[in-house]
Structure 1
Amino acid sequence: MILPDLDELLALRGAAQGLKLGARRAALAQLQGGHRSAQRGRGLEVEEVRPYAAGDDARSIDWRVTARRGRLHTKLYREDRERPVWLLADLHAGLFFGSRRQLKSALLLRTAAMLGWAAVNGGDRLGAVLADGQTEPLILPPRARQAGVLPFLEALVERQPRAPGRAAADSLQRALQTVQPLLRPGSMLLLLSDFSGLDEHGEMQLASAAARCDCRLLWLSDPLESSGLPRGQYRLGLPGRLWWLDGERSRDAWQSVWREREHRLEAVTRRLGLPLARLTTADPVTVTLPRLLREAA
């Protein structure tokens, strides 16, 4: 199967035209009593000062407030009042799998690209956390227009898995832990994952994220995961660890494992009140994602 490249993700800008990411929550200044300041920096008005968070531009640190309060504070400029939209991509090696039109990793890249274009086209600032379970999660601070989306698309292409590998059990957990201190009231978090690594700690992280911002989950799957193998003998596994499996005899156990994951994720999202959208490798994202966003509006 073909891996998405940068040209393809750039071309998805056209397919993302007209997509809406939903209603905005109250801006941070409205929630915290922010005010416009006469101070200026980068040629823009300062709207408020708040505690520094990982990923903030070090050039925006307000050293006077920092000295007075004994803790780093950063300036938010008028331009920065645009809603931050965080895209969290759980891009572990286990996504290098697909039995239909595309790999799950390719589905993630195409979905993320369309969401990224939709965010900047709507006037939001796009930030991202990319986790693969092998290296430290990559943080891309929120930025507007092409300055936000282009580095994100480049990072997706660079970090996508290129060979089969074991799913990293803590990839999702590390990604959620990384994004937690970056979330602010009024921001949006779009989480793309197959949720194979969701555990109790991950559920706690999801609950914390849902309490901080507008959080939405996009579940990536392949039809073979839910249906099981057709009748016949199959050689499965990873390079160096392969074994034979009987499709008919394994189907009941296979489907039971899938139903357990499905029920757990649905229970978590119901309990936390989180929207859950499903995308499958069998369908083109240019068709399914616009429909899902319309239904969520």
Structure 2
Amino acid sequence: GDAAAPAAAAAPAINPRDFAPEVDLHAALKDSDFKSKINEAKWSEKVAALNIAILALGSVPKLKEADYDGFLDKVFPLVSHSHFQVSAHAMRLLALMAEGMGAGFRPYATKTARLYLAQLNNKKVLAAAKESFHKLYCNSAGLEGFGAVADDLKGCMEGKKRLSAVHGREAVLGIVADCLTEASPSVPKREAEDTVEELARIAISQIGDRDPKIRAAATAMLVAVATPSPRLSQGPKLQRLVQAIQGDFPRVHKVVTEAMSGAPAVAAPAAAPTAAPSESKRPASSAS
């Protein structure tokens, strides 16, 4: 029919990486000061080294297939460096490596995601960590989906590894929501049904938090998980999880069920901050 015509006529998305030249990173760094600077104790020298590699990769990285173990072994520890500039540059470089290596980055993807999550407590590198995680998820075949890090996401919100800073926990919820709602990811993911359900549980566990920012972010994440999408396997168990919050969190339930029914997605983020704060004055763990 006429309604189907625009979709059928839509041109396939063009990935700039398909037309980018391959980068031989080892050759590019061989004649540079990367090796000497990366081993310097001074933070500014390390940043200079990381910048050399970042510039060599370019904005649309496409790496020649090679062994990058030794190179990555030098970069990984710098994510946790005490100076925020070193940490931020290391995170950005890893995101570019993930993009450039594609599926070849899979052995390193979970470790990289965990390093990003661990930095979310630090406000000075918060933006870099969020941006880098988003690129790892949306632009690289390295991280196959949130299933690989679901336990880590949960750990950031509760238990011994819970992020101490509100902005850190808020960022975790925001990262998931942003990745799931990215309109045009370079490498779309397909999240399995059990992963979708686990993400919903994580969000639901936070909608009764004391902090309004956490409640709002948790609501937005739950909306992202529940909104119909070809990238999410949404089964009946997800519907039951959402239905179960109706008694304690009726306003959040209303926002989420509207999203599930295909209501305009733009309504959900606006509703979440106003709905969630009045729902509960207690942490989720005390909700019955």
TM-score by length of 2: 0.29
> Whose RCO is larger (CA < 8 A, sep 6+)?
1
Whose strand proportion is higher, 1 or 2?
1
